Every structure is written in C-alpha cells, then in structure tokens.
Amino acid sequence: MSNSWLKTTILMAAILALFAAIGGMIGGRSGMLLALLFGGGMNVFAWWNSDKMVLRMYNAQEVDAQSAPEFYGMVAELAQRAGLPMPRVYVIHEEQPNAFATGRNPENAAVAATSGIMRMLDYRELRGVMAHELAHVKHRDTLISTISATMAGAISALANFAMFFGGRDSNGQAMGMLPRLAVALLAPMAAGLIQMAISRSREFEADRGGAEISGDPLALAAALQKIEHYAQGISMPTAEAHPETAQMMIINPLSGSGGISNLFRTHPQTAERIARLQDMARGVY
C-alpha cells in the first residue's frame, strides 16, 4: 500500500470513528449502531446515484463523437492509454475553467469540463487536464470522495440532531446545552478537515498519474498555472451553492482564500503541484 493510500485509509477510519462517536453521544450503543446504519444507507445511495446527482446539479450536457469530435476523441485516446473503459463525456456551460470526474467505478465513470476551460487552454494543456481526471477514475478517487463527502454531510446532520434533541455523555447523563453546542459546531468542522485532507492527498496522486497517462507532465503544469490565474477572477455559482462538490474539481472553484480558509483547502497549493510536475519532467520526482 502506497503512503497516499495508507493516509487515505487512516483518514477514512477517522471520519467513520467520528461518525460513530456522535451516534454514541446521542443514544449510547444503540445510537452508535443506528448512526452507522444510517451512514451505511447514505453511502449505498450515494454509491449508486452520486454521478447522476452532481452532473444534474451542474446541468452538464453529454457529448459524443458527433457533437464534440475533438474533445471526445481526446478523452477516448487518453482512456485507451490508461487502459480504462470509455467514460461518458460532458460539457458544463460555465465560464470558470475547471473539470472533474465522477462515477462509482471505471465502468460507470464520467468526465466533465467547463466550456471556459475548453476555450482558455490549448489542445495540449486540455489533454493534460483530462488525463488528470482519468487518473482519478483509475485510482477510484471518485468513490473515495463520494464516501467522504457523504459521511461529512451525515456527521453534520447528526450533530444538528444532537443540538436540538439532546444527547448523552459517557455516564449516560443528558448533555447540557454547552456540550451540545460544542458538538454541533466542532463535529462538522472536524469532518470537513478530514474530508479536505483526503482530497488534498488524492490530488497529488492524480497529477502524477495524469502526467504518466498523457506522457506530458509539463502540459498539466502549464494548464494548472493558467487555470489558477483565470479561476480566481471568475466565479462558479453552482459550486458556491454546493461547496461540498469543490473537492471534485481540478482547481478549487470557490472564492476566498488565505487565513483560516487554508485549513479547509480542498486542493494542495498549485505552486507545489506545478513544482512536482516539473520535477517529474526532469526525472527527479
């Protein structure tokens, strides 16, 4: 197991433990069991429907070899190089340059790019971006991100339940208002931090994997630099309305950075990603 996968496994275990702990606070052992069953049910639903939900959320339009021959052909060529089944291909009519992959496994995957990124990048740079997204598919990161996002959302729901309907401490006594308020505020924050750590860990691996698929690390490096520059000045309303989807994008689509928001960064620093890709091109990564 690679260091990245080990880190992801540990973080997923941490978010599951947090989920169970909140369930235990609400209803003891029974509450813990019910919380785990609730989380499991949510994950099964998300596992089957996450791709449809997010593509519908962004009003993504599916394209094929007739409607978008160059873009579709690019993805087909890269999927063949990666040894992957051909994913469904979508275009999102948003000005911000961005892209993401979704789907529960490589056989049910989809990749999507905004119309903005298709205009702002040249062919070689866009090819590097789509190779990055196919690396997410190959590494099954789309499933990991779905599970972590679903668990984080469920933790928030449970914490709110504890806030309004009470919970119990380790001695079985009803929790006071102050502890309930602390759980309601801190538990979702902790879940969010864990979720963001998972996302950042997987982005480095997708950069590396995408560079290997495309055979052109510098193309992805150039694309990241250009996307970062343009994305900062162009908002993405759908992402702002649904911030839980930010981790899926190749660059954080949300406005605002710096200060405490760095704790919740969905992606590593772009400069570090570019430096690693440049090292890879030189054969030192």
User: For residue 166, what pLDDT is reported?
Assistant: 55
In which residue are the tokens 């990124």 written?
117
Region 125-153: what's the mean pLDDT? 84
Which tens digits make up the pLDDT trace of 191-237?
A: 666 656 666 678 999 999 999 999 999 999 999 999 998 888 899 99
**20-34, 102-116, 180-194, 245-259 — which is least confidently predicted?**
180-194
Strand order in the sheet with 99-102: 61-63, 88-92, 110-114, 99-102
The pairing of strands 99-102 and 110-114 is antiparallel
Q: Single out the residue of 119, 140, 144, 155 nearest to residue 9, CA to CA.
A: 144
Q: Is the pLDDT of residue 139 over 50?
A: yes
The pLDDT value given to residue 232: 81
pLDDT at site 141? 84
Task: Give SS3 for 113.
Answer: strand
Res 266: pLDDT = 66
Strand pairing partners for 61? Answer: 91
Query: Does residue 115 register a pLDDT over 90?
Result: yes
Q: Any idea what DSSP says for residue 59? A: T
In degrees and rounded to multiples of 5, residue 52 shows phi and psi of: -65, -40
Mean pLDDT of the chain, nearest integer: 80
Of the listed ranges 54-63, 120-129, 266-275, the one predicted with least confidence: 266-275
The two structure tokens encoding residue 151 = 């668990």
**Host H or E run for residue 242:** none
- List, for residues 62-88, the tens digit of each pLDDT value: 999 999 999 999 999 999 999 999 999
Identity of the residue numbered 79: A
What are the residue ranges of helices labelled H in the chain? 3-57, 69-82, 115-120, 123-138, 141-165, 177-214, 217-231, 237-241, 270-282
Burial class (CB in 10 A: 0-12, 13-18, 19+), 108: middle
Among candidate residues 125, 133, 203, 228, the one labeled active-site is 133
Looking at mean pLDDT, say which of 30-44, 180-194, 233-247 comes out highest: 233-247
Average pLDDT of 31-45? 70
* Catalytic residue flag (residue 77): no
pLDDT higher for 100 or 53?
Answer: 100
Least confident of 40-54, 227-241, 252-266: 252-266
Q: Has residue 40 got a pLDDT over 80?
A: no
d(CA 255, CA 179): 32
Asked if 144 and 92 count as a contact pair (C-beta separation under 8 A), the reply is no
Q: What is the pLDDT of residue 61?
A: 97
In angstroms, the CA 105 to CA 87 distance is 10
8-state DSSP, 100: E
- Residue 44: predicted pLDDT: 73
Residue 48 confidence (pLDDT) above 90: no
Query: Looking at residue 260, what is its pLDDT?
Result: 44
- Decide: 253 and 96 in contact? Cβ < 8 Å: yes
For the chain, domain boundaries: 3-282
pLDDT of residue 109: 94
List, in sequence order, every residue forming a beta bridge with 114; answer none if it has no partner.
92
| Mean pLDDT, range 29-47, rounded to an integer | 71
